[in-house]
Structure 1
Amino acid sequence: MSLPPIRETIRQHGLSASKALGQNFLLDEQLLDRIAAIPGDLHGQDVLEIGPGPGGLTRALLRAGANVTAIEMDRRCLPALAEVEAAFPGKLRVIEGDAMGIDPATLFPGNYAIVANLPYNIGTALFTGWMSGREWPPQWTSLTLMFQQEVAQRIVAEPGGGIYGRLSILSQWRARARIAMKVHRSAFTPPPKVMSAIVSVVPIPAPPGVDSPVLEAVTEAAFGQRRKMLRQSLKRLPGALDALAALGIDDTRRAETLSVGEFVAIAERLSA
């Protein structure tokens, strides 16, 4: 079974992007193939896609040889996805549901990659959930995710700037995160008001002796009052000021000046 161009599929099924669901459709097949190539060779690999919509990226992943499990809560898109499923027999599994309420670990017997043009309204929440797992390395081998460019920049931000914060540390303390591609707003239908970017995240060994919830508590306290000195922002976190002193970290500094490694060192002290 051959598939019509994705634009024609959208027309045939009377689909339109739902603002309430944070949808923006990508139609350029060459661009979609480039996105599907970011995580590397996907031939025979299990891939999770969130919010496939009419299936543009889904097709690209299948063309790349992946076995795709796609979670879609918009019932209007299911007939279009069924056509993709028929065109790639045994390669696509579509699950109707809310990705926020589905544990990906229950969908795969082994490792899998996540590739998605994430709905803007749940993208950050999904990402932080995947990055916050206590077990590391995670079952997923890589994340290739479309975000608003502002969010993407926060994920890869370095210390010293106003966008460096909790999301930066969560993304970098046990993973390599990079912006793999910027995507102009004109590539979408309808065009969003902001530019987008694709972030690639690959897990690396976690620093030993650090409890993930402890690190999250440290960064929450530090950046919750980011304009204050650490002596003020961390004083209500038991043991934090003693950890600063033991590590030789000046407590007059502000959170945005500390490196990821320094936050990890504080968390290691408090996890002991």
Structure 2
Amino acid sequence: MAQIDELPPLRDVIARFGLDARKSLGQNFLLDLNLTSRIARTAGDLAGATVVEVGPGPGGLTRALLAAGAGRVVAIERDERCLGALAEIQAHYPGRLEVVSADALTVDFAALAGGPARIVANLPYNVGTALLVGWLKTEPWPPWWTSATLMFQREVAERIVADESSDAYGRLGVLAGWRTEARIAFDVSPKAFVPPPKVTSSVVHLVPRPAPLPCPPEALERVVAAAFGQRRKMLRSSLRGVTPDSEALLARAGIDPTRRAEEIGIPGFVALANALQGA
């Protein structure tokens, strides 16, 4: 295992602070410092950069980010049991680690970042998708974050990078593909975690598009949620959840009402969102 700094091994830190991973918090601690360093490298050259991390836990990825040269890491941790371990990292990297004790679903990320930043995180499984959707809906766009390097369950990662040629295509694929270029960087075996999850994980790297097709994010999310909520039905049926006159909506967007959600690319959903907003 890589020795990236002079701090104690993560297993020792977990034992000393009693940091048993809790399912209720979506925790699976990544202890392999070779892997945390690889995640940090996937985020690009971090020299002097501001990095926002969600769910640092005992700090394995935090240490890798700081060892890679991040000028400032803002780590948001809900579990107060982890604060002692993170304080040791703060002492080892003076002035470079800020720890925010809060629920990531409630914080103002742009204010915490204070300027352009990268997001790098082994996201808690139970809030990862909600956080990503919030970042994708950031206004104004381009957003405060310049890239996001995030760990998800493999199934979720496949949905994020999917387009209409894939069976995994759905709400996440539309939202992520609309505003970012997203790719799966590499997979991570369950054996790398404590405790090991039942599924393989994947690291996804997303870069914001500077000028995505314009449309209101809330309207886009409404039409996408309705369309894929009944994905086997024709759009004239599935979109009745957003408007009783779904055929008129589809006509304004220039889309055949007999098509299904999985057949519509991102430009089609953007047209639907703009038609809905206009109505």
TM class by smaller structure: over 0.9
Q: Structure 1 residue 267: deviation in Å?
A: 2.2
Q: Which moved more, 1:226-235 or 1:116-125?
A: 226-235
Paired residues in the alignment total: 272
Q: Which moved more, 1:210-219 or 1:60-69?
A: 210-219
Equivalent residue of 1:95, what SS? strand
Equivalent in the alignment of 1:2:
6
Equivalent residue of 1:151, what SS? helix
Superposed counterparts of 1:62-101, under 5 Å: 62-66=66-70, 67-101=72-106
- Which one of 181, 187, 192 corresponds to residue 187 of structure 1? 192
Equivalent residue of 1:245, what SS? helix
Superposed counterparts of 1:28-39, under 5 Å: 28-39=32-43
Superposed counterparts of 1:171-186, under 5 Å: 171-186=176-191
Distance 1:14 1:237, change over 3 A: closer
Distance 1:72 1:207 in 2: 32
2:47 equivalent to 1:26: no
- Which one of 48, 54, 62 corresponds to residue 50 of structure 1? 54
AA partner of residue 162 (structure 2): A
Q: Deviations over 1:56-77 (max 9, x none)?
A: 0000000111110101111111
Equivalent in the alignment of 2:259:
253
AA partner of residue 263 (structure 1): F
Q: Deviations over 1:207-239 (max 9, x none)?
A: 354111111121122112211101111245447
AA partner of residue 55 (structure 1): G
Q: Structure 1 residue 31: deviation in Å?
A: 1.0
Distance 1:209 1:96, change over 3 A: closer
Question: 2:163·2:177 contact (CA, 8 Å) conserved in 1?
Answer: no
2:159 equivalent to 1:154: yes
Identical positions, percent: 57
TM-score, normalised by the number of residues in structure 2: 0.92
Equivalent residue of 2:138, what SS? coil
TM-score, normalised by the number of residues in structure 1: 0.94
Equivalent in the alignment of 1:217:
222
List alignment gaps of at least 5 residues for structure 1.
none
Q: Structure 1 residue 191: deviation in Å?
A: 0.5
List alignment gaps of at least 5 residues for structure 2.
none
AA partner of residue 185 (structure 2): A
2:231 equivalent to 1:231: no
- Which one of 104, 108, 111 corresponds to residue 103 of structure 1? 108
Equivalent residue of 1:234, what SS? helix
Q: Structure 1 residue 162: deviation in Å?
A: 3.8
Question: 1:13·1:80 contact (CA, 8 Å) conserved in 2?
Answer: yes
Distance 1:89 1:214, change over 3 A: same
Distance 2:168 2:122 in 1: 22
